[in-house]
Structure 1
Amino acid sequence: MGSIQLEQQSSEPKYRHLKTVLTEALDTEFSVGQALPNERELAARFGVARATLRQALDQLELEGRLQRRRGVGTTVAPPRVGVDVSPRRHTWPGAPGDSWVTTDCAPAVPPTAVARMLDARPDEPVEVVHRVLVTHGQSVAAEQLYVPAAVLVTPGEAAPAGPPATGPERGRHVLARLQRLRPDGQDRSVELGSAGAPEARRLDQLPGAPVLIVTTRYAAAGRTVAAAVATYRADTCRLTFGNQGTVSLSAS
């Protein structure tokens, strides 16, 4: 790769101009899955500081043009995968057609915001079911589903057999008990965030990578019975909401 000096652009920040030049290079010089040179080589090629280069690479990752993976480096990303998160696809956790895979489950104290959503005491443990969503052979989302233990007991029913100690079987047990409820509805919100260490490990990302965080509240019998916090890879996912359209990202 030859050396290219960026022309000074007075009307825009240097990293934005560099992003435009990099985009053209991705379209003409690289193919999907191909690794880019390291940051030192790229900075030298374009005659910019590495901080400026990182700003441009961060924006391209946010737009889904690049992927950063442990032990692989920065590669050209394939087109984003459309993931339907509308209620018609996510009617109830564990219901027929639910494509999430349960990987673990154990009691734990939920985050404060989730505890408020569940009307649980700040120090009250709830069942936490860990699940992943796999599309085209790749984990694209990780979810923590929070369910208060009291929700899993039906009034007037003999005490159910205790769940397995931990692990996927416990999670499937929780989901099966949840199916006994008649859902009233759900609401969800979407925000842009960055991957923490646990999510980064589950999704084969680097900590701090851009993600979409979808929080869902499930209601039954006039109360909140479960809450889910799902982390989607922003570099590979395009969230759709049925007739409500698509959640897209624009880099500023």
Structure 2
Amino acid sequence: MGTTQLETVPETKYWHLKQVIGEALDSEFAVGEILPNERELAARFGVARATLRQALEQLELEGRLQRRRGVGTTVAPPRMGVAVGAAGNGWPGSSGDAWQAMDCTQEIPPAAVADLLGAGLDEPVHVLRRSRMYSGQPVAADLLYVPAASVPDLSAIDIPDGATRARAVLRELQRLGFEGEDRAVELGSARADDAKQLDRLPGAPVLLVTTRYFGPDGRTAAVSVATYRADTCRLTFGGDVEFHSGDERKAS
């Protein structure tokens, strides 16, 4: 990487530095290559380490860099395209569902989720923990909240907490009937438990996709809060789920 005189640049220092480093990533570094440490980079560009960290954090947010435990900062591979439009999706647990059920417990949902469900703040619901993988790597973690009213026959099934009960909840949910869904997408920060599951650092940028599933009576039957790695995933709208890597490009 070359040096640059940032003092004469009218735009924010860290933003210009981000652009300079981004150009170097394209021309001088390969995917997976480890960047020099912060001290070396700050000295090379003649900037404070705080300015350098801002630039690196922005590049991580844009999916150009990855911070890996015990490794350092590496050049990220191209993001994988994940469709989040209604077409090609549907009821959780239905044919083609890419999520793997891992666990199921009964818990009081967060207030925002309880509001979406129309449930009381002290009313426990089934909470399914699910994971999504690609090429052996975790790309997303999901919490699926299902109120007891959506699976009324589950009480007769004597299954302990765990993946088996999660699958039972999904099977019962299928009986209810699926009438539609809506989604909201926002940028967020990885919570400690999500970060561990996704092999990220706590506070790393993530994409949060909140989905409400509607039953035949039009009421909210379940709510999914999915956390996608912002450094490896890009969200597309409409079409089936597709993953893209390298130079491959497919319409979504």
Q: Same fold (TM over 0.5)?
A: yes
Show the 5 A alignment for 1:53-132. 53-132=52-131
Query: Residues 33-92 of structure 1: CA distance to partner in whole angstroms, max 9, x if unpaired?
Result: 111112122112211111100110011111111011222221100001001122223211
Q: In 2 relative to 1, CA 148–56 (structure 1 residues): closer, same or farther, beyond 3 Å?
A: same
Aligned residue type for 1:113? A
Q: Please state how far the C-alpha of 1:159 moved relative to its aligned partner.
A: 5.8
Q: Find the aligned partners of 2:142 and 2:111 in 1 and give their Cα distance.
A: 17
Distance (whole Å) between structure 1 residues aligned to residue 233 and residue 63 of structure 2: 8
Identity %: 62
What does 1:115-154 correspond to in 2, within 5 Å? Answer: 115-153=114-152
- 1:228 is aligned to 2:228: no
User: Residue 248 of structure 1 aligns with which residue?
Assistant: none
> 2:43 — aligned with what?
44
Distance 2:94 2:226 in 1: 17
Paired letter, 1:126? V
- Among 192, 200, 203, the alignment partner of 1:205 is 200
The counterpart of 2:156, out of the listed 155, 160, 166, is 160
User: Is the aligned partner of 1:215 residue 2:210?
Assistant: yes
1:28 matches 2:27: yes
CA deviation string 1:131-190 (max 9, x = no partner)? 111122211111000001221115xxx96322x221111111111110111111111100
- The 1-side partners of 2:136 and 2:155 are apart by 40
Contact 1:108 1:126 in 2 (8 A): yes
CA distance in 2, matches of 1:22, 1:59: 11
Find the counterpart in structure 1 of residue 169 from structure 2. 174
- Listed as ranges, the matches of 1:186-197 within 5 Å are 186-197=181-192
Deviations 1:204-242 (A, max 9, x none): 111111111000001102211100000111111111111
Q: How far apart are the structure 1 equivalents of 2:170 and 2:68?
A: 32
2:179 match: secondary structure: strand
Structure 1, unpaired ranges of 5+: 244-252
Q: TM-score, normalised by structure 2?
A: 0.90
**Uncovered stretches (5+) of structure 2, i.e. residues with no partner:** 240-252
C-alpha distance in 2 between matches for 1:108 and 1:38: 43
- TM-score, L = length of structure 1: 0.90
Counting matched residue pairs gives 238
Contact 1:9 1:17 in 2 (8 A): no
What's the Cα RMSD here? 1.6
Letter aligned with residue 204 of structure 2: A
